[in-house]
Amino acid sequence: MKKPWYEWIQSIDRRIIYLVVFVVVSLPFFIKIKLPMRPSEPTENLYNKVEQIADYNKTSTKKKCIFFQMDWTPSVQAECWPQTEAMIEHCFMRDIPFIIMGWAPEGPMLTQTIAEKRAKEHGKKYGEDWVNFGYKPMNLPAFLAFIKDVYSQINQDTEGTPIRNVPVMQNVESIRDVDLIFHVTGSGGVEAWIQYLQPETGTDVATGCTAIIGPEMYPYLDSGQLIGMMEGLSGAAQYEHQIGYIGKGTRGSGSQNLAHFWIIAMMVLGNVGYLFQRKQEREEKQRLEMAGE
Amino acid sequence: MHATYTMLLLSVLFCAPIIYFILVARKGREIYIRPIAGLAAIDEAIGRATEMGRPVLYVSGLARLDIIGLCSMAILSQVAKLCARYDLRLIVPTNNYLLYPIAQEAVREAYAAEGKTDIFNDEDVLYVPGQFPYAAACVGIMHREKVAANFFFGAFYAESLILAEAGNQVGAIQVAGTPSTMQIPFFVTACDYTIIGEEYYAATAYLTKEPTMLGSLVGQDIGKMTISVLIVLGVICMVLMALFSSVDSNWMIELLEK
Amino acid sequence: MATELEANDASRKRTELIVVLVISGAVLAYILIDMFRAMASPPDGQSGFGALFDRFMVGVAAICTIVIYSFLYKENPFYRFLEHVLVGLSVGFYTMLTWTQLLKPNWWDKLTGADGLPPNWYWLLAIFPGLMWYFQLSRKKVWLSRIIIMFFMGTGAGLSFKGIFNLLLTPGRGQIQQSFKPFLTRFGGGVVFTATNFNNIIFIVVILCVLSYFFFSFRHDKIKILPYSSTLGRYFLMVCFGTIFGTTVQGRMSLFIDRLTFLYTEWLKVLAG
Amino acid sequence: MRKKLLIFLTFIGGLYYFVEWVMPAESGIEKTLTPFGQVTLVISGFAFLLGVINLVRLHGTRILKTRPGYYNSVALITAMIVMALAELLRFYLTPTPHWVDKSYEFLFVNMRVPIDSTIFSLLAFYMASAAYRAFRIKSLEAALMMSIAVIVMLGQITVGIWFSDMIFPAGYGLQDFREWLMKYWNAAAQRGILFGAVVGSLALSMRIWLSLERGSFFDREV
Phi, psi of A98 (to 5 degrees): -140, 155
**How far is residue D117's CA from residue D105's CA, in Å, rounded to a whole number?**
16
Q: Are D200 and B8 within 8 A, CB to CB?
A: no
Q: Please check the confidence at residue D185 and state whether its pLDDT lies above 50.
A: yes
Decide: D93 and D100 in contact? Cβ < 8 Å.
yes
Which of A96, A95, A107 has its CA nearest to residue A132?
A: A107
Can you tell me the mean pLDDT for A63-83? 92
Domain boundaries, chain A: 38-248
What tens digit of pLDDT does each residue of A235-276 get? 999 999 999 998 888 888 889 999 999 999 998 988 888 888
pLDDT (mean) for D174-183: 93
Task: For residue C147, give the nearest of B97, D13, D219, A143 by alpha carbon.
Answer: D13
Is residue D219's pLDDT more than 60?
Answer: no
Contact B82, B174 (CB under 8 A): no
The C-alpha atoms of residue D91 and residue A270 are separated, in whole angstroms, by 54
Q: What's the pLDDT score for residue A198?
A: 92
Give the Cα separation of D119 and C132 in Å (integer): 36
Give the confidence band of D216 by pLDDT, cuts at 50, 70, 90: very low
Q: What is the pLDDT of residues D129-178, one digit of tens each?
A: 878 877 777 778 778 888 999 999 999 999 999 999 899 988 888 999 99
Q: Which residues of chain B have pLDDT under 70?
A: 130
Contact between residue D158 and residue A253 where contact means Cβ atoms under 8 Å apart: yes
| Partner-chain contact B227 D199, CB within 8 Å | yes
Inter-residue contact A186 to A163 (CB < 8 Å) = no
Coil, helix or strand at residue B175:
strand
CA distance B210 to chain C (A): 14
Residues C138-193 pLDDT 10s: 878 878 888 888 888 889 889 899 999 999 988 888 899 899 998 988 887 788 89
The pTM assigned to this predicted structure is: 0.90
Interface check C157 vs D, CB under 8 A: yes
Residues 6+ apart with CB under 8 A from C141: C135
Of residues C101, C115, C264, nearest to A136 (C-beta)? C101
Q: In what order do the strands lie in the sheet with B173-178?
A: B125-127, B90-94, B56-61, B149-155, B173-178, B193-196
- Strands A98-102, B90-94: pairing is unpaired
CB within 8 Å: A271 and D150: no
pLDDT in tens, A151-162: 888 888 888 888
Mean pLDDT of the C87-109 span? 89
Confidence of residue C92 (pLDDT cuts 50, 70, 90): very high
Residues 6+ apart with CB under 8 A from A195: C162, C163, C164, C166, C167
| CA A255/CA A250 separation, integer angstroms | 10
Cβ–Cβ under 8 Å, residues D13 and D36: no
> Given CB atoms, is B182 within the 8 Å cutoff of chain A?
yes
Give the C-alpha separation, C93 to B129, whole Å.
13
From B18, which residue of chain D is nearest by alpha-carbon distance? D203
d(CA B191, CA D134): 8
Neighbours of chain B (3+ CB pairs under 8 A): A, C, D
pLDDT for the residue numbered D134: 72
The gap from C-alpha B174 to its chain's centroid, in whole angstroms, comes to 15
What average pLDDT does the segment C249-264 reach? 92
Please give the residue that has the higher pLDDT: either A61 or A206.
A206
CA distance C172 to A80: 30
Extents of the domains making up chain C: 2-74, 120-178, 179-261
Mean pLDDT along residues C24-42: 91
Most confident of A161-170, B210-219, C57-66, D62-71: C57-66
CB C124, CB C112: distance < 8 Å: no
Task: Please tell me if residue C136 touches chain B, with a CB cutoff of 8 Å.
Answer: yes
In angstroms, the first-to-last Cα distance of chain B is: 13
Q: Which residues sit opposite A69 in a β-bridge? A: A101, A183
**Which of C 56-75 lie inside 8 A of D, CB atoms?**
57-58, 60-62, 64-65, 68-69, 71-72
b/e C35-48 (16+ beta carbons within 10 angstroms → b)? beebbeebeeeeee
Which residues, numbered 132 to 151 in chain B, qualify as contacts with chain A under a Cβ-Cβ cut-off of 8 Å? 132
* Matching CATH number, A38-248, of 3.40.50, 2.60.40, 1.10.3470, 3.90.550: 3.40.50
DSSP, residue by residue, A76-119: GHHHHHHHHHHHHHHHHHTT--EEEEESSSHHHHHHHHHHHHHH
Q: Cα dist. A204→A101, A176, A196, C179 in Å?
A: 17, 10, 13, 20
**Coil, strand, or helix at residue B31?**
coil
pLDDT at D94 over 50: yes
- Asked if B131 lies within 8 A of A212 by C-beta distance, the reply is no
Residue A126 has pLDDT above 90, yes or no: yes
D204/B contact by beta carbon, under 8 A: yes
Residues 6+ positions from C216 with CB-CB distance below 8 Å: B33, B34, B198, B199, B202, B217, B221
| % of chain C surpassing 90 pLDDT | 38
Q: Can you tell me the distance from the alpha carbon of D51 to that of D49, in angstroms, rounded to the nearest whole number?
A: 6
Q: List C-alpha distances in Å: C218 to A218, B221, C224.
A: 29, 8, 11
The answer to whether residue A70 scores a pLDDT higher than 90 is yes
**Of the partner residues C109, C162, C251, the one whose CB lies closest to the CB of residue A232:** C251
Q: According to the model, what pLDDT value does residue C262 have?
A: 92
Residue D94: count of CB within 10 angstroms of its CB:
8
| C-alpha triplet D112, D118, D120: angle, nearest 5° | 105
Residue A133's SS3 state is strand
| Dist. CA C167–CA A224, nearest whole Å | 11
Q: What is the residue-averaged pLDDT of chain D?
A: 86
How confident is the model at residue C222, as a pLDDT? 83
pLDDT at position D115? 92
Those residues with Cβ within 8 angstroms of residue C128's Cβ, 6 or more apart along the chain or in another chain? none
Cβ–Cβ of C241/B3 closer than 8 Å?
Answer: no
Inform me whether the pLDDT recorded for C3 exceeds 70.
Answer: no
Chain A residues within 8 Å of chain B (Cβ atoms): 14, 75, 187, 199-200, 212-213, 215-216
Question: How far apart, in whole angstroms, are the C-alpha atoms of residue C152 and residue C149?
Answer: 5
pLDDT band at D66 (very low <50, low <70, confident <90, very high): confident
CA torsion sign, D75 to D78 to D84 to D90? negative
Q: Are strands A65-71 and A98-102 parallel, antiparallel or unpaired?
A: parallel
Amino acid identity at B217: L
Assembly ipTM: 0.89
pLDDT at D220 over 70: no
Q: Are A213 and B182 inside 8 Å of each other by CB?
A: yes
- Asked whether the CA dihedral C199, C204, C207, C212 is positive or negative, the reply is negative
Residues of chain D contacting residue C106, judged by C-beta atoms under 8 Å apart? 38, 41-42, 45
Residues D113 and A249: beta-carbon distance below 8 Å: no
* Between residues D70 and D216, the one the model is more confident about: D70
Task: Give the Cβ contact number of residue D82 at 10 Å.
Answer: 17
Q: pLDDT digits over D2-59, tens only? A: 788 888 888 988 898 899 888 887 777 888 888 888 888 999 889 888 888 988 988 8
pLDDT at A50: 95
Q: How far apart are CA C8 and CA C16, in angstroms?
A: 12
Per-residue model confidence as pLDDT tens digits over A167-182: 999 888 888 889 999 9
